[in-house]
Structures are given as C-alpha cells and as structure tokens.
Chains A and B, each alone.
Chain A
C-alpha cells in the first residue's frame, strides 16, 4: 500500500525554478523611459514638447552642417558647388584659417612662433593646474612669460633676458631678506629688479632689434584668436596678485589703505568694461609722459587687468571672510606677524575657498576679451566683422564664422569650468 501512497503527490519539485526575466515594461530602456520621460501625463507632454523643440533646432541645422562645403575660394563658388541645396560654406574657415587665428597683419612666414608659444603655454600651465606633475616643471612656468614674449614679438633677445635677470635678481634679494622682515624682502626685491632693469636698459645697444635673430613684430600686427588668448592669459595672471593685494587692503585696519582699495574696487565694478576700454583707447595716453609711446595693446592690458583685479579682489574677500575667526587668532597666538600669518595660514585657505570664484572671473574675462573689437582691435570677432565679412569673396557668410567663434569660446570656457569643478572635488578635504 505504501507505493499507492507515493502516488498521492503527483509531482515534487527538486530544483529551484530559474529566475524569470522581469516583465518587459519593468526593465531596460522601457522602464527608464517610463520613469524619466513619461512619468505623468504632464511629464509626457513636456517630453513631447521638448522633443519637438529639438527637432525644430536640428531639422534645419543638421543638413546644413553635414552638407557643408570645405574647399572653395569664395561664397559664389560655394553656391555653385551646392547647386541650391542647403549647406554651409565652411570653406571660409579653411581659406581664412590663419587670419582667424593670427589676424591679417601678422607675417605669414612667422606663424610658427605664436603656434609654438601656444603649445608651450600648455606645458607651462600644466604644473599649475595639476598638482601631481613633478614640481620641477614650475621652473619652466616661470620662464614661459619671457619665452612667449620673445616668440610673439621677436626683436632682440636682450629684452626678455634682461627682464628675466631683473626678476631673478629681485627674487634673490627677496629670499635673502624675507626671513628678517617681509617688507624688507619685498621692497628690497623690487628695488633690486628696478635697478637691474635700469642699468641693463643702458647696456642694450641701439638698433639691436634690427638685426635680431627673430624678426620683430609690432603689437598692432597681433590679431585673431591669438589676441584673445594673449589678453585672457596675461590679464588673468597679472590680476591675481593685484586682486589679492586689493582684497587684503580692503580688509585692512588702516583706514587710508582701506578707503583707497574700496574706492578702486567699487569704481571699477560699477562701470562696464567697454567704458574702461574707451579709457584705454582715447584717454589713457594722456596720462603717460608726453614723449612716451605706449601702444594700444599695453594700454588695453592695463585696463583689463585693473578690471579683473577688482572682481578677483571681491572673490578673494569672500574667501577671507569665510575663514573662521579662530584661524586669525591662532596665527596671532603663534606669534606670527601679519605677512607671515597671511602667507602661511590665511591665504592658503582663503585662496582654496576662492578657486571656483576666481575661475568664474577668469572665464568671464576671457569672454569679455572680444569687446576689444569695439575699439577696433582685430581680435577673433573683429576679424570676422571687419576684414573677412567685408571682403568681396566672403560677404554674407555669417553663420559659419559666428558659429566657429562661438565654438572656440565654448570649448575653452566649458573646459575651464569643468576643470574648476574637478579641482573643487579634489580640494574638498573637509566634510568627507
């Protein structure tokens, strides 16, 4: 009877059922779409509207870009090739490429010089941006301004070498005296540098730049995107130390220093950059000694540096204000004097807090360098609006040129802001 009992249970599963795949609608792209695109009816409507907007943008531009003509000598030739079809005339970029990058007066056989300086810029900037690189590379960063000056302007090699020797001499004096007192080191260094420059200036023979190894190029021949890069890099790097000094001055307990700094900062921040550029182009020349000739490039650099220094000062002031008071008191109680406390305790922390703000200012400033086209300097935008669009061959090629300029600025500025976000994560040593 026992075997009949075995028949009462028809089937005993001895192995586990293999896991069934989840329902089609609960996995993969369908689930993702249901959650992210069609969660509610209103959401679905938004998706449809957004998709339609994207279609409206892409429908005319995509064929225009894909159908672009890259080799032609004029707009008429482009139209001939296109035969009435929609298509961009990117040939203007290939044909006027050197002009867009270097301006229309920079001697074409010398293009290698700014290009080399541009490549070296990355080598020089890399150790500043990425701390993991060997610190020895910073020596090259220090040398870069002199190399770049020599490459771009050419002329006699004595000028950059003299400038370099002056800086080195000043630095040596500073190092010698800074252990005693910061003020002695600082002012001694400046005095030494000025002395070396003055004596050296007398030693450089007249007409040294005529038979120099690199042909001299005057500043007014600079142009194109090179000009934007030069203005951006020079002014940002010059304005950071000035901005730090202004920020410290604004925090100072000495009323005179404080008032001067506040007035300077608020004045510069209260007027648009374009009026400062007007100052550079029509007014600043009156303030230099009568027989001196300060070229427009230098005047613009002075004004833009003042402009960005004021903004950077405000950013750094925010950083200084964000530091807990205990840091200042701790520095005092260690017996550090003001310069020591600033250099060793306050500024390293305050600057770290201010990095995102400084990068924002730098991006804004780099974008603002196109304003020099308004005072008839031929930067990238000035080249496009002036010589290129006015030429008979390319009259009417707006979108390709403006699109190219936008793309260049977008790549640079977006890159910088992404770097700043990376750096912020990297430096976030607290609140882990």
Chain B
C-alpha cells in the first residue's frame, strides 16, 4: 500500500523575496512603488516650494474672469468681455472645426494620390511619388507657414478689386480670394426654408431605404432593380420641386466690395485656410502611403479569383478588394486623424485662435497661470485622443478576421 504524500511545504523565508521568482516580482514592485512615491514627493515638494517662493497658488477661478481680448474667428458668440472659459470654448470649437475640415480633405487628397501612385501611367505615378515624398519629408510647421505666406503675400488686397478696371476679379462673382481671407456666399434662410430642408433630409432617407429594398429584393428573388438613376431622382427631384413650390426661400448673400473691405457672405480667415490646407496636403501624403499599402496588401490572387468567378471590374473592386483593403487602411487612417487633431495645435504659429492659441497662448500670458492652463490644455487633447482610440478599438474588434 503506497501513500502519496504532498511534498513538504516550504515555509516562507525572507531570502525567497530575492531568490524565488514567485516572490521576486513583489519585491521589485515594492521597490518601484517606493521610488515612485519618493520621486512624486520630491517633485511636489519642489513645486510647492517654488510656488510659495513666487507667491502663486493653483486655482482655476481665473477662468471666470473677463478675458479682455478679441478673437477674429469664432463659431459661438464671443466678445472681449466674455470669460476666459468662454475663450477656451471658442478655441476648442475652432480646433475641432479645423481638425474636422482637414480630416475630410486629407482623406480625399490621400485616397486620390494613393490610388494614382499605383497607376500604370509612369508620369502620374512619379508625380504622386514626388508629392508624397516632398510633403512627408518637410516639417508640417514649414508647410503651414509657406501656405500662410501665400495667403498673405501673394493674394491681392481688397482694394485691387475696386475701380472700373480692377487687377483682380471675383471667381464666378461669388468667391473673393483676398489677403484678408476668402469670402464665400452665405445662405439666407427665408420663411419656409425649413420645409425644403426637411424634404431634403426625407429624400436622403428615401434613397437609403430604396437601395436597401433593392438589395434585399436582389438577394431574395434575384430580381435586379436599377440603382443609379432612381437614387439620383429621389435625391434631387423632391427637393428642387419643393424649393420652387415654397417660392425659393433659400437665397445667397454674395460678398461684395463696400468701402475698403468685402461685406456680406462668410469670411474664412487666412489662418484657417492656411492651417486647413497645410494639414490636408501634409497628412494627405501620409494617408496616400497608407492607401497604397492597403491596396497592395490584398493579394493578386483575390482579384484573379473574383474575375474567374465572372465579376466585372467594378464589382471586383467593390465586393472583393475594397473590403479587404479597408481592413488594412482604416486603423492607420484613424491614427492620421488623431495626428491632424494634434498638429492643429500648430495654429499658434499663424494666429488661428484654436485652443492652444487661446488657452495656452493669450490666456496663459495674461493671467500667468501657466500650470493650470497647460494642464487644461493637455486634458483636452488627452480626452480627444483617448476617445478616438476607443472608437478605433471598437472598429478593430468589429472587423477582426473571425477565425474558428
């Protein structure tokens, strides 16, 4: 009769804290924690001593006091009597505005350049390679300044639009490109315009519903309904009809030269244009490389297999290549969007009133609250970045290859 006994349990000895891998990590973490606490205590102590010596404290009540400076481009109501917090809000909205605009145009530039770089046409592909290399290898700050200089030094002043024989003319009589900014027509919402807008939204929903219905019908019965022209018709006809039925309620407020400057329309300031355009072309070059890599990552066998099944080239692209390429393209694309948001902080170099220029620039200099301003600034960017990363993680999980 054999008895199995447990091996004798080693009692815990102090030397195991160093020699036994089971306990060693605890030792290391305890030491790390100690070092961390000492370092933090040292830094905090320095901070408090320095602040006390300079007669400062950390308080956020300055946000409630009047800012006292003007901002030339605002999305919400703001004047120099508004608070610093309001100025920061203006800055946040301006940051989001330029980041949003730049994300859209950068994607357009990037996709066009990335696809054209794969073109069979030697000249076009070399031209696109040149575009990508030149923008990727020169700092974005230099591009912002170059484009801002074009805006201010090359475009004509408003006075050159004047007189019987002006040296500059407005584009289509609607757009004016001046060194003070670009003037575009503004829509005027008359009575009844809401009906037109509602019709437009309804027809967009209608288009989506029709296309879904057609797809379902195709899968269920094999009947192929035309997709192209009915969508176009649903999209345009009701809105245009309603526009005339309601007696053309939406007009255009065209900018025109009065006195020394243009009046009317919407003024898009030079700094915004410079920042927007520079971020778009710069990031577009990076996106072009992502797009190219994504398309090249789809193996040629996939295209060939799809062709062998008898799919037409358009369908091969839509049903086989793009879904696979997008899986590769989208994650880096989103991190490029993140880069655009972060790079939009360079607005301070051209005087665009984004959050870095209002909160981290003028407010910081006026109130001298350096620590508070910089911390708030970081908090804002951190929030944006972490939310975009969260979205990206959700997306990555949803398109992950589902394996057994």
Question: Which B residues are CB-close (under 8 A) to A402?
Answer: 142, 145-146, 149
Other-chain residue from A36, A47, A374, A410 in contact with B137 (beta carbon distance below 8 A): A410
Interfacial residues, chain B to chain A (CB-CB below 8 A): 25, 28-29, 32-33, 36, 43, 46-47, 49-51, 53, 119-124, 127, 133-134, 136-142, 145-146, 149, 153, 342-343, 345-346, 348-349, 356, 360, 364, 370-371, 374, 377-378, 381-382, 384-386
Q: Shortest distance in angstroms between B146's beta carbon and chain A's nearest beta carbon?
A: 5
* Total inter-chain residue pairs, C-beta < 8 Å: 149
Interface pair A54/B381, CB less than 8 Å apart:
no
Q: List 27 A-B contacts (CB under 8 A).
A: A36-B121, A43-B119, A43-B121, A47-B121, A47-B124, A269-B385, A275-B345, A275-B374, A275-B378, A275-B381, A278-B377, A282-B364, A286-B50, A286-B51, A287-B46, A288-B50, A367-B137, A367-B138, A367-B139, A368-B139, A370-B141, A373-B141, A381-B141, A385-B145, A402-B142, A413-B136, A414-B133
B52 CB, min distance to chain A CBs, angstroms:
9
A401 to chain B, nearest CB (A): 10
Please give me the residue from chain B that is nearest to A282 by CB atom: B370
Q: Smallest CB–CB gap between A276 and chain B, Å?
A: 8
Which parts of A220-278 form the interface with B (CB within 8 Å)?
253-257, 260, 266-267, 269-275, 278
Residues of chain B within 8 A (CB-CB) of A398 are 149, 153
| A371 near B121: Cβ-Cβ < 8 Å | no
Is the Cβ of A290 less than 8 Å from the Cβ of B50?
A: yes
Q: Residue of A at shortest CB range from B369?
A: A282
Residues on the B chain within 8 Å of A209, using CB: none
A36 CA to B120 CA, complexed, in Å: 6
Taking A50-B124, A270-B386 as contacts, is the C-beta distance between A278 and B381 under 8 angstroms? no
CB distance from B255 to the nearest CB of A (A): 27
Q: Report whether A370 and B29 are in contact in the complex, using a CB–CB cutoff of 8 Å.
A: no
**Chain A residues within CB distance 8 Å of chain B:** 36-37, 39, 43, 46-47, 50-51, 53-54, 253-257, 260, 266-267, 269-275, 278-279, 282-283, 285-290, 363, 367-368, 370-371, 373-374, 381, 385, 396, 398-399, 402, 405-406, 409-410, 413-414, 417
* A272 pairs with B138, CB closer than 8 A: no
Are A274 and B374 in contact, with the CB atoms below 8 A?
no
Partner of A286, one of B46, B120, B122, B138: B46
Contact A37 B345 (CB under 8 A): no
Q: Cβ of A36: which chain B residues have Cβ within 8 Å of it? A: 120-123
Contacts of A371 on B, CB cut-off 8 Å? 141, 346
Partner of A51, one of B29, B123, B140, B153: B123
Q: Are B121 and A288 in contact (CB under 8 A)?
A: no
CB pair B29–A254 under 8 Å, yes or no, is yes
Check A409/B345 contact, CB under 8 A, given A53-B127, A54-B127: no
Given contacts A43-B120, A381-B145, A406-B146, 16 further A-B contacts (CB under 8 A): A257-B29, A257-B32, A266-B386, A274-B348, A275-B356, A282-B370, A286-B51, A287-B46, A287-B47, A287-B50, A288-B46, A290-B46, A370-B139, A396-B153, A398-B153, A414-B137
The one of B53, B137, B378, B384 that contacts A417, using a Cβ cutoff of 8 Å: B137
Shortest beta-carbon distance, B344 to chain A, in Å? Answer: 8
| Contact call A406/B142, Cβ cutoff below 8 A | yes
Give the docked Cα–Cα distance between A39 and B121 (Å).
8
- By a CB distance below 8 angstroms, the chain B residues around A370 are 139, 141-142
With beta carbons under 8 angstroms apart, the residue of A290, A374, A417 that contacts B348 is A374
When A and B form their complex, which 4 residue pairs have the shortest distance between CB atoms, in order from nearest? A270-B385, A36-B122, A282-B370, A413-B137
Are A363 and B374 in contact (CB-based, < 8 A)? Answer: no
The answer to whether A254 touches B124, judged by C-beta atoms less than 8 angstroms apart, is: no
Contact A274-B346, Cβ < 8 Å, known A367-B140, A398-B153: yes
**Which of B33, B53, B121 meets A37, CB within 8 Å?**
B121
Chain B residues with Cβ below 8 Å from A289 are 46
CB distance from A67 to the nearest CB of B (A): 19
Residues in B with CB closer than 8 Å to A273 are 342
Contact A290 B53 (CB under 8 A): yes
User: Contacts A253-B25, A275-B360, A414-B137 given: A267-B46 contact, CB under 8 Å?
Assistant: no
Chain A residues with Cβ below 8 Å from B50 are 285-288, 290
Instruction: Using CB atoms, name the residue of chain A closest to B122.
Output: A36
Chain A residues with CB below 8 A from B28, complex form: 254, 257
Tell me the nearest residue of chain A to B25, going by C-beta.
A254
For A410, the closest partner residue in chain B by CB is B137
User: From residue B363, how far is it (CB to closest CB) to chain A in Å?
Assistant: 12
